[in-house]
Homo-oligomer: A and B are copies of this chain.
Amino acid sequence: MSTPTIVTAAMLAIGDELLSGRTKDKNIGHLADVLLMSGIDLKEVRIVADEEEAIIEAVNALRARYDYVFTSGGIGPTHDDITADSISAAFGVPCIHDPDAMSLLGDMYARRGMEFTEARMRMARMPQGSRHIANPVSTAPGFVIGNVYVMAGVPQVFQAMLDAVMPTLHTGARMLSRAVSCPYGEGDIGSPLAAIQKAHPETSIGSYPRFDGQKFSTEIVIRARDEAAIAPAFAAVERMIDDIRRAKEAAGELPRG
């Protein structure tokens, strides 16, 4: 069996509003879903404020460590949109009014009979040498520099930009998974599940507790890049659940709501 290719990624969500609770982020979950389907492992997420130093430090830490970094937020036309400047500083290159982006935006505002103000021109700013990420929703492009993909924070625009980006990325072997809904809590399954994990080292078995207000249950997820590795671990988990049920029945524990 050849070693599967692993491709890793991180996300950096930028914006005071995410840290003040005013906006509940929707882009992280969306990116996680899309990357999972594509065989790219999302390994870390950071959320930072609209502060240049915080953005620079985070993007430099993440771009050194992962194959791809995706950012959201801070590329609009207002004074608090400082992502283009901060990413430029992180790469040590000038932040310029990109000529192609200026034409794109200038033409669009001309067609709409609107003034191409200094604020609107801010949306054409990006690190020198960047490539564009198309924005079919509202024209102003995102940009790529090195392994960093800089996208909008508005979810509809983020999603459209990500759709444009995904076909251009290297992807790895997809992480496959199979989930088992287990009616017992982690206290019941902890020891036998650890034994199953030990017996199936080619899989990664996670257990995620749920609480319905009355009792705990668990979702058990078996992951592997090789389909053939999942089936035997899955069967072992199903046997474990049966064994726990029988033991509880034998002990006179009745099933509860």
Q: Is A126 an interface residue (CB 8 A)?
A: no
Q: Which of A180-196 contact B (CB under 8 A)?
A: 186-187, 189-191, 193-194
A78-137 contacts to B, CB under 8 A, are: 78-81, 114, 117-120, 122-123, 137
Contact surface of A with B, Cβ cutoff 8 Å = 15-25, 28-29, 32-33, 35-36, 41-50, 54, 76-81, 114, 117-120, 122-123, 137-138, 153-154, 156-157, 175, 177, 179, 186-187, 189-191, 193-194, 197, 204-211, 213, 216, 219, 221, 223
Are A137 and B186 in contact, with the CB atoms below 8 A?
no
Contacts A154-B211, A190-B120, A216-B138; is A20 near B32 (CB within 8 Å)? yes
**A186's contact among B78, B206, B216, by CB below 8 Å, is which?**
B78
Given A32-B21, A187-B119; A207-B78 close (CB under 8 Å): yes
A26 to B245 alpha-carbon distance, docked (Å): 31
Q: Is the CB–CB distance between A78 and B189 below 8 Å? A: yes
Residues of B within 8 A of A23 (CB): 208
Known: A16-B206, A154-B209, A209-B154. A49 touches B45 (CB 8 A): no
| Contact present for B32 and A43 (CB under 8 Å) | no
Are A17 and B157 in contact, with the CB atoms below 8 A? no
Given contacts A16-B204, A22-B219, 7 further A-B contacts (CB under 8 A): A19-B45, A20-B36, A20-B177, A21-B35, A78-B207, A79-B193, A114-B187
Asked if A77 and B186 sit within 8 Å, CB to CB, the answer is yes
User: Taking the nearest CB of chain B, how far is it from the CB of A98, in angstroms?
Assistant: 17
B44–A48 touching, CB < 8 Å: yes
- The answer for the CA separation of A63 and B54 in the assembled complex, in Å, is 15
A245 → B minimal CB distance (Å): 15
Whether A211 and B157, one on each chain, are in contact in the complex, defined by CB atoms closer than 8 angstroms, is yes
Closest 7 CB pairs of A and B: A119-B190, A21-B32, A77-B190, A79-B194, A45-B47, A21-B33, A119-B191
Contact (Cβ within 8 A) B20 A208: no
Q: List, in ascending order, chain B residues with CB within 8 A of A21's CB.
A: 29, 32-33, 35-36, 42
A191 to B29, CA, bound (A): 33
User: Can you list 27 A-B pairs with a CB-CB distance of less than 8 A?
Assistant: A15-B208, A16-B204, A18-B32, A19-B41, A20-B32, A20-B175, A20-B177, A22-B208, A28-B47, A43-B48, A44-B48, A44-B54, A45-B46, A46-B46, A76-B186, A76-B190, A78-B193, A78-B207, A79-B193, A80-B197, A114-B187, A117-B190, A118-B190, A119-B186, A119-B191, A119-B194, A123-B187
